[in-house]
C-alpha cells in the first residue's frame, strides 16, 4: 500500500510532467481516497473503464488520456457528470499523463515500441517545445515491407493501415504514437525508411508515394497501450501495490 500523494508526486517527477506544454493537465485529475492498495491502468478515461475498475477494487485509475483538456470549461453535466460521478461515489482517484508518457525513454509509448522492434540505441525524433515526442533508429535486421507491416500488427495488436511506398527492405523507422501523422514530414526529411504512428489523414497516401517513404497507421489506441502497460508494471515494482491493466479496445 502507498499514499495517493506519494504515488502522484513520484510519477510527476519520474515522467517529468512539468516539462513543456501539453493539451491538458497531467497528474491527479480527480482526488480519491488517500491510501492506495490497487491501481487499474487503461489508455483512455471512459465510463466503461471506470465501472470495470471500481468493480475490480481499484483505489486509483492511471490513464494516458484523462478527462480534462486545455480550455475545457465544461460544466459537470451529462456524460462528464456521469463519468466523474462514478469516481466520486467510489472515492477513486484519476491520474493521467499524456505527452510525458509518449516521450519517456523507458516506459513511454515510443520507447517501448522501439525496444519491441529491437531498435538499438533509439534517438529522439519529433518535438514539441524542444522536447522529443518519439524516437527512431535502425532495425536489428532489414525487413521486407510486408514483414514489417506484419510485425506492426503483432506488436500493436491490430491490423494496421499501411502505405508501402518506400525502400525494400526497410532498415530504419521512426515512431510517434497516437495522432502524429503531421510528423511524417519530419521522418521524410530525416531520411527514415518508414514512419509508424497511430492515425492517418487523407493526404498521407500521396505523400508516402511521392516521397518514397513507408507510412504505417497502427491505431491510436493500439500504439498507446504499450506505455500505460509498462508504467503500470513500474508502479507495481516500485510501490508493491496491485496493478491491473483493463483493456477497452478501440479500433481507431
Domain ranges in the chain are: 2-102+225-245, 106-220
CA-based radius of gyration for the chain: 19
Look up the CATH architecture of domain 106-220: 3-Layer(aba) Sandwich (3.40)
Taking residues 57-68, report their average pLDDT. 98
- CATH architecture of the domain 2-102+225-245 equals 3-Layer(aba) Sandwich (3.40)
**pLDDT at residue 218 is higher than 80:** yes
What is the Cα–Cα distance from 145 to 176, expressed in whole angstroms?
A: 19
CA neighbours closer than 13 Å in the CB half-sphere of residue 172: 14
Burial of 158 (0-12, 13-18, 19+ CB in 10 A): middle
Q: What is the mean pLDDT of residues 195-207?
A: 99
Residue 174: the pLDDT is: 99
3-state secondary structure of 185: helix
Q: What's the pLDDT at 73?
A: 72
Residue carrying C-alpha cell 470549461? 73
pLDDT-derived band at 1 (thresholds 50, 70, 90) equals very high
Model confidence pLDDT, tens digit, residues 115-147: 999 999 999 999 988 999 999 999 999 999 999
DSSP 8-state secondary structure symbol assigned to residue 118:
T
Let me know if the fold of 2-102+225-245 is the same as that of 106-220.
yes
Amino acid at each position: 500500500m502507498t499514499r495517493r500523494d506519494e504515488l502522484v508526486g513520484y510519477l510527476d517527477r519520474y515522467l517529468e510532467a512539468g516539462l513543456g506544454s501539453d493539451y491538458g493537465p497531467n497528474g491527479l485529475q480527480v482526488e480519491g481516497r488517500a491510501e492506495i492498495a490497487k491501481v487499474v491502468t487503461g489508455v483512455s478515461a471512459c465510463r466503461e473503464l471506470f465501472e470495470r475498475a471500481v468493480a475490480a477494487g481499484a483505489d486509483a485509475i492511471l490513464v494516458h488520456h484523462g478527462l480534462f483538456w486545455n480550455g475545457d470549461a465544461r460544466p459537470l453535466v451529462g456524460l462528464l457528470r456521469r463519468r466523474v460521478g462514478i469516481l466520486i461515489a467510489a472515492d477513486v482517484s484519476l491520474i493521467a499523463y499524456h505527452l510525458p508518457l509518449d516521450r519517456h525513454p523507458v516506459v513511454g509509448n515510443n520507447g517501448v515500441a522501439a525496444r519491441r522492434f529491437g531498435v538499438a540505441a533509439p534517438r529522439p525524433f519529433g518535438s514539441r517545445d524542444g522536447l522529443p515526442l518519439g524516437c527512431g533508429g535502425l532495425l536489428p535486421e532489414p525487413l521486407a515491407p510486408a514483414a514489417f507491416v506484419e510485425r506492426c500488427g503483432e506488436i500493436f495488436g491490430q491490423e494496421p493501415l499501411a502505405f508501402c511506398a518506400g525502400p525494400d527492405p526497410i532498415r530504419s523507422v521512426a515512431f510517434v504514437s497516437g495522432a502524429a501523422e503531421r510528423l511524417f514530414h519530419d521522418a521524410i526529411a530525416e531520411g527514415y525508411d518508414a514512419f509508424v504512428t497511430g492515425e492517418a489523414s487523407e493526404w498521407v497516401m500521396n505523400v508516402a508515394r511521392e516521397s518514397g517513404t513507408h507510412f504505417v497507421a497502427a491505431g491510436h489506441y493500439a500504439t498507446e497501450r504499450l506505455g500505460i502497460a509498462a508504467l503500470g508494471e513500474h508502479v507495481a515494482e516500485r510501490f508493491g501495490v496491485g496493478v491491473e491493466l483493463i483493456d477497452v479496445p478501440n479500433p481507431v
